[in-house]
Amino acid sequence: MAQKKSTAKVFIIILIFIIYFLTAARPVLRETVLSHRWIRSLAVNSQSSYAQDETALSDGVVNASVLSDTLLPFTLGSRFGYVDAQGQFAVNRSKISDIYLSTYMWTEYGAEPSNIVINNILNEKKINIDNTRGYPILLDNRIFILGSEQNSLSQVSESGFVMWTYEFGAPLTCIDAASDIVVTGSLDGAVEVFNSAGERLYYFEPGGSRYSVILGCAVSKDGSHIGVVCGVEQQRFLLFERFGSAGGEYKVVYHEFLGNGFRRPVYILFVDDGRRVVFERDGGVGCYTIKSRRGIFIPLDGNIVAVDGSGEQGVLFLITSHPGQEKRLTGIQFPREGLFGFLGNTELVFLKALFKSDDVFLGRKDSTIVTGGGTSLVSFSLEER
């Protein structure tokens, strides 16, 4: 009898241990860290060896389209250009006037440009546009001209000819383009969507605020979602989703009140391969995950002056400005999500690094992060340990 009781106790102890192991055990999470790679001075006009790089050659000629996948555009203080993951510069020049850089091309233009020259990332002249009467906007490997009164938009072909022009009822406050879709927001609170031929596909006025101005807009890279920050008193974030074909209607699938909000343009962009949309809001950053349809608020101090446009690997970097030229590089790790909510540690901010500078830069290509202040660029590699 005593032996049976002893056996039962052992069995109960083992059973309790198994239950505890299955319910209380948690995997040891890997820590996200930044490893320093290089630092480069922009004051030295460093030359790269792309001409000798066989991966960038096509029939013995440097291929700019190949390099566009490896180069990161930057502008910092009085310098601008393109740099690769090893710290080599394809372009490193002093700014003379206003600059517009994209992944594939760049242009420098004056206050009232009558002629605009578009260059590729190897500093080669690509397109010459005469009688512009506006300002260049380079998005989605396309060239647009914003009219001098900011109430018209034109798309220009690779030959320098105007393909289409659209006149708006009020000055534009934001523009974005992806997947042959162009999204605009205007001062009178209208959101408009156009196709590659300049035909309007969708028109919407969010309203619901004392001042119905569109302060920021973004379109996902596949054109299926549009994010908008609009209105003052109250300010709102809206997410539109496309239904039906590529020319189908967009519908509001989520909205959130953001308080009185800002009276200036705000940051809004799709990150993490289109899985999330992040947007600037009073007191921090909002993040909405498309698949789970969940939104979170990440409190931050200071004013956002630069945002990592990638957000890959579920990690986003941004720089905030503080009094006395103080800047702060902040790393945010988006929470893993399951069927019933967040999984694991919900501490989102994993990095805060202080530095002082008048001007800043922040860019990212895959796991390579490049930031800068003063006259120097610094590169880090995003790793898990």
Q: What is the mean pLDDT of each successive set of 10 residues along the chain, which is 385 residues long?
A: 56 57 52 84 64 43 66 93 90 92 92 89 87 91 94 93 95 96 96 95 90 95 95 94 79 92 94 95 94 92 93 92 93 74 62 91 92 92 80
Looking at residue 269, what is its pLDDT? 96
Q: Is residue 315 part of a domain?
A: no
Q: Is residue 195 part of a domain?
A: yes
Looking at residue 207, what is its pLDDT? 84
Looking at residue 249, what is its pLDDT? 85
Q: Cβ contacts of residue 225 below 8 Å, gap of 6+?
A: 219, 239, 240, 241, 242, 270, 274, 277, 290
Can you give the residue range of the structural domain that contains 228?
Answer: 173-266
3-state helix, strand, coil in the chain (%, to 5): 10, 55, 35
Q: Is residue 16 part of a domain?
A: no
Q: Is residue 186 part of a domain?
A: yes
CA angle, residues 337, 341, 344, in degrees to nearest 5: 60
Looking at residue 81, what is its pLDDT? 93
- Distance, CA of 372 to CA of 42 (rounded, Å): 10
**Count of domains observed in the chain:** 1
Q: Is residue 42 part of a domain?
A: no
CATH code, domain with 212: 2.40.128.630
Q: Is residue 307 part of a domain?
A: no
Q: What are phi and psi of 24, to 5 degrees?
A: -100, -20
Q: Is residue 194 part of a domain?
A: yes
Q: What are phi and psi of 200, to 5 degrees?
A: -75, 125
- Distance, CA of 81 to CA of 86 (rounded, Å): 15
Q: Is residue 229 part of a domain?
A: yes
Looking at residue 59, what is its pLDDT? 42
Instruction: Kindly report the pTM of this predicted structure.
Output: 0.85
